[in-house]
Structure 1
């Protein structure tokens, strides 16, 4: 049984996106349950519209879907109020994308929304691998400053430089790695360094290939227990999402 911890959902101006029915068909290629993460305008500006839409998709398919909420920290009190509402409506955690939402990971702008995440005991998913805006060691520093919040290092520093990935992830226990876009040898190294309970499978479908991401985990040479944790157990513990 496999849980996909991040599937891209929303309208994006330059990348392929899917409606809920097509998304479910795509996931039938090997995923039992998925956690949707808003992208495009839902991520950048229309946060409430995206959060409400994804919540509706999840309500219609509770056995298959859950979701991350997002708020842009620049909205201040409105962001705080929307995040509280989204958590009350069932969102499993907060997704942030500094390069899209226009802030630095160590900006004081983040403090109010991180306070809400910590108050509700929800993890924070951060897209990393974008120089200047969101690099692994920046997230490591943020995790040190906020030990009461668990941070998922989205993409584990990929699409750009990741030489600082393991030094960053081993900084503290409140950092969780993600498998998307990373090869089998790196996935094996993450499990060896962190333990399988801090490694989370995701595909980033439809921006990425589900079969390829599943194959990478399969080729990582993990034992049965570790593979089960990466493909579902970590998500069940962190997000309350069981396949």
Structure 2
């Protein structure tokens, strides 16, 4: 089966992307959509998820792009954009990337901020999916994602981790009526993943790992525990991601 990890992070360091590719090989993952990581300490990220906040650290988007370019098609670069300062930069290089990430947990703000709309507008022109994790703060909750998705019906939004708690069933119900919002499963509980497939349908669910914070094998075990039939399992593990990313054929070892 051709597995595509829709959400992994490339952290700074001399060992990457070699460690990521080795982890993918060990788990049997062919490709991964990759975004910059390591922008703030985990303790601070955890605090901002609950209390809000913003980092001024810039994402190494160019480093991600170069690493992906050298991967022979295995790593697909996403642009990690700060709505306050990255609109112009993303607009200039959008076609060098495969998707966009916006993170209220990292950069704060609201999903109705002007910069968010400008970024999504560029994503629509570039044909990019928009990966977005909702948080507990006003303006960045699942209902706010639904309103944003309604403004851009031709853009595909990916609700990262099925919310930020692992058990956001209310959020799952909120996004269910928005056909251009898909759910990505990394980090959520098995019961949440099972409900995502049941309530959204398998075509709106994506496998992800959140590497390096999560071992890829853990997330693959979660998919196995869902006991999906083969067509649904293939959809979740790769076919949906390839459709969203316009990957016409699965990656194969040269």
TM, length-normalised to structure 2: 0.84
Instruction: Report what 1:58 is aligned to.
Output: 68
Residues in 1 aligned to 2:234 and 2:16: alpha-carbon distance in whole angstroms = 29
Residues in 2 aligned to 1:187 and 1:228: alpha-carbon distance in whole angstroms = 15
Cα distance, 1:161 vs structure 2: 5.7
> Which residues in structure 2 correspond to 1:1-243 (within 5 Å)?
1-11=2-12, 19-30=16-27, 31-41=29-39, 45-47=57-59, 50-75=60-85, 79-89=86-96, 91-132=97-138, 134-159=140-165, 162-241=168-247, 242-243=250-251
CA displacement, residues 126-161 of structure 1 (integer Å, 9 cap, x when unaligned): 022444463222212211222222110011113366
Runs of at least 4 residues of structure 1 off by over 4 A?
none
Tell me, yes or no, if the aligned pair for 1:200 and 1:231 is still in contact at 8 Å. Answer: yes
Computed over aligned residues only, the root mean square deviation of the Cα atoms, in angstroms, reads: 2.2
Instruction: Report what 2:49 is aligned to.
Output: none
Q: Given the superposition, is the C-alpha separation of residues 214 and 39 from structure 1 closer, same or farther in structure 2, using an over 3 Å criterion?
A: same
> Which 10-residue stretch deviates more, 79-88 or 62-71?
79-88
Structure 2 segments unaligned to the other structure (5+ residues): 41-54
Residues in 2 aligned to 1:99 and 1:133: alpha-carbon distance in whole angstroms = 12
Cα distance, 1:10 vs structure 2: 2.4
Q: Given the superposition, is the C-alpha separation of residues 161 and 220 from structure 1 closer, same or farther in structure 2, using an over 3 Å criterion?
A: closer
